[in-house]
Amino acid sequence: MSDKQKDTKVDELLPGDFIPAQELLEHEYDGIQEADNPLPKWWVQLFLICIVFAVVYTPLVHMFDLLPKSFLARDIAHAAMAADQREAELIASGAYDADPVAAGKKYYATFCVTCHGTYGEGGIGPNLTDQFWIHGPEETQIMGTIVNGVAAKGMPTWGPILGERKIKMITAYVMTLWNSNPPAAGKKAEGEAYDMAVIRAPKDAAPADSLATAADTTKKI
């Protein structure tokens, strides 16, 4: 081995340079050899920091649950109280009863948009503005779907979370969505097609000739 090779430092090497023989590990495959360089300092330090962090964090958080939670609990309690108070004020003001659809729209924006889209056009959940329904378009059917959810398909069970009052208002809003021509592209049809013009026709204003079909409003096309 020449002196020149010995003196060459690994970090001075350029691609294609000869790697000094003493830096190579013994094994060789198809003429390819592995250089025995130390790991970069920053890498080793980061690795050690991770180990120390894991040793402290795991028992603290996952085994003994020792992190202080008083602030979190207090903040959650405050937020819940504030929400209850706003709710009570709205109920007292009669706003909900005056306009259940508008109230339902607000709840929809809070609880449903993530999956059914801002305009009900669908996303993770089905499109609520078209004539296709998996669980039925009638008020009682929609309420049933919301109350019970469809756990296997990812629709949460809202009954225990929202309560009957809110779900009624949300249902009222969902029932206004059919044919609302959402500005966002709607999700493709899911479920079966229903004759929505009949189903959503104002019941007392239905023309005489549609009364026969109105009795069986879940009739499919």
**Which of 96, 133, 178, 194 is in the footprint of ligand HEC by CB under 6 A?**
133
Q: How many amino acids of this chain bind ligand HEC (CB under 6 A)?
A: 25
Phi and psi at residue 192, to the nearest 5°: -110, 155
191 makes contact with ligand HEC (CB under 6 A)? yes
Q: How many helices (H) and strands (E) does the chain have?
A: 10, 4
199 makes contact with ligand HEC (CB under 6 A)? no
Minimum distance, C-beta of residue 123 to ligand HEC, in the bound complex (Å):
8
Nearer to ligand HEC, 40 or 163 (CB): 163
Minimum distance, C-beta of residue 115 to ligand HEC, in the bound complex (Å):
3
**Which of 20, 125, 182, 186 is in the footprint of ligand HEC by CB under 6 A?**
125
User: Token pair 């920053």 is at which residue?
Assistant: 42
Q: Is 218 helix (H, G, I), strand (E, B) or coil?
A: coil
Burial class (CB in 10 A: 0-12, 13-18, 19+), 173: buried
CA 30/CA 50 separation, integer angstroms: 37
Tokens matching residue 211: 């009364």
CA 197/CA 176 separation, integer angstroms: 12
Q: Which of 120, 172, 164 is nearest to 142 (CA)?
A: 172
Q: Of the listed pieces 30-38, 48-56, 144-152, 178-186, which binds ligand HEC according to CB under 6 A?
A: 144-152
Minimum distance, C-beta of residue 112 to ligand HEC, in the bound complex (Å):
3
Minimum distance, C-beta of residue 166 to ligand HEC, in the bound complex (Å):
8
112 makes contact with ligand HEC (CB under 6 A)? yes
Nearer to ligand HEC, 20 or 129 (CB): 129
114 makes contact with ligand HEC (CB under 6 A)? yes
Q: How many CB atoms lie within 10 A of CB 210?
A: 13
CA 94/CA 18 separation, integer angstroms: 85
146 makes contact with ligand HEC (CB under 6 A)? yes
Residue 174 DSSP one-character state: H
Binding site for ligand HEC (CB under 6 A): 111-112, 114-116, 124-126, 128, 133-135, 142, 145-146, 150, 153-156, 158, 170, 174, 190-191
